[in-house]
Structure 1
Amino acid sequence: MNAKGEATAIKHYSMGRLSFERTTVMPDNRTVYIGDDGGYTMMFMYIADQAKDLSAGTLYAAKWIQTDAKDGGAANLKWIKLGHAADKEIKELAQSLTFSDIFETSSVPADGFTPVRTSSSGGKTEYLKVRPGMEKAAAFLESRRYGAIKGATSEFNKMEAVEYNKTDNKVYMAMSYIEKGMLQGNTDPVDDIHVDKISAGGVYELSLTKGQKDSESHQIDSNYVAGSIDGLVMGEDLAAADENGNTANVDKIANPDNIVYSGSMRTLFIAEDSSMHSNNFAWAYNIDTKKLSRIVSVPGGGEATGLQLQQNLHGYTYLMVSSQNPGHVGYLQLPQLTGR
């Protein structure tokens, strides 16, 4: 952006091909965490070669190594290097290659073919083999499929916004629906994630460390690599709808979408995009006291969205919340909220 506020959008081909949700850049201005929206998606991390320049770097995908199934689950994370590239070379590959140039396919299990299930295939199992010399093209033009072939976990469901807590060196990640590929008892080709179902979703906490190595024991060139992931604040499904039509507990979050974090307030703000609450809400979650407070209710049928946090503006902090697509007839009347 120049002094006049003019900016030019740039497509960063070297950051992979996925359903980009909100991305968050770490304080080194090199390490990037990316939300990948959809069913059977992946957790990606991108590390740029140079600070404040995302035109070339290394793309990684996470392997979920489960340690717990309750409350959204918990796992250690191992990062699989997919490849290194610059925007220019991947753009050229994108303009010249087709899917069949990159992969051989089989309709049934066959020697040399890897079974993978990703959002890119509509959640159906494919049998793929990377053609010789096509590893880089596969990594950056078919990042999920190549990641699955390399052993990364492709079972995440409705991964949304990503946010960073600088003081505690944590990343927060919204998972709008904890179901489908994330559940126990699936027939997925690998089935890394097997947690209890929470259709109301939740927010996860990733703990970052330095000195980590990738799946091939090579040092990862970043001090902001997630080593573990745990459920932080979860929704709760109801066995049957209540008198107001809610199918999730109204005193807990449902289908989190936007999240922003205030370091000075030690508070994570969460906005919903849900059909499980008759009214969508915005919440404040204090990460020290673990207190969850409902702070906004939007009109029936409207999504709570567009969270923006402006801290210390002339001595005040402002949280902006939007409501889009209202129009549902009738709404839940909340009790008066005090002390929140």
Structure 2
Amino acid sequence: MMGFALAAGICYGIACLMMGVVMLSGLVYCVIVLGVFSLTQWIIGLVLESVTGKRPAWLFSETAFTVEVLLIVALAVGYACVPLHPARMKAETVALVCDTAQTAPDSGQARFSHRENVDNLVEALSGIRVSHVFTTGREVLEQAQNRKAGKYYFYDGSGKLVKRIAVAPGLLGVSNRQDGKFTWYDLDRQDREALERMIRNLDAAESRCRTEDANGEALAALRGSFRYGEGTYWFTVPEFRAEEWNIELSAFERTFTKTVLKSSGYVMRTGDETGTGYFLTEQTENRAWQAGETYSFRLEDRTYEGVYCTVTLDGSEFRLDFPDPAPAYRADRDNPVIYYIC
């Protein structure tokens, strides 16, 4: 019982101490605010008196203080609640995006340099609404400031910095200087996760664009080598600029069907049967393709909607369409396979 009373007394004492600190802080704040208001009115009064020769009647009045308090409160509420767009940029002013690994246009390969990927990232950042940081502790801000990951540098076509962005847990940092400190804003978790997810998708898109740039001529040569005749396809494998590459040949099989009652000719059901067929699977499974060699494969006794060649280059896939086969091999809705039921 004595221990409980002692604990209650300690808690009460701490509560009173905290209440006292709060009241003292409020008192200091009020004194400072009133001092600023008084100084402001005194300066305004001196200016007006020097111009008009009369002292304003409303100077240091209750009405003047009330108006000033309401104005300060409105500004504070607006500062805290009005959404901001500090990361907003014009897409046409950004030519490439670097990260902490390459912090300048000439320091290595940019994170994003293809127009569509740069535009998507700038658009996503420009649409994010944030508010000023009020509750985040100094330690958290310092950790975010010193954090190396998640910093992006936006440059224009001449290599001049447009903006620097940092994404940290719950925070968005913005700076207009290469080495300047970030101004931090509160960022919703959903917005941060959506932004990080988009950046991952853009990384994959950028990798695909670079792979396509390096192998554009080879892909065009492969597509141009496609030949077809009497159910057989031929193509020639070019030299690809990729560490890992493979080719997969497939066809979408489709047969339109009609179920008919033989005695009356009544159509009971229409439908289709679908599937996927693969060709030269041994070369695909063993990655046994040889550059410069011509390969061929023959369609089976089925009908198809399309025949495709999928090229995988360092993880990015590119699908090329073979020429359409002869009518005898094409799926035809107007000439279905008929199943008769007695």
Name the structure with the higher helix share. 2
Same fold (TM over 0.5): no
Return the TM-score normalized by structure 1. 0.18
Return the TM-score normalized by structure 2. 0.18
Name the structure with the higher strand share. 1
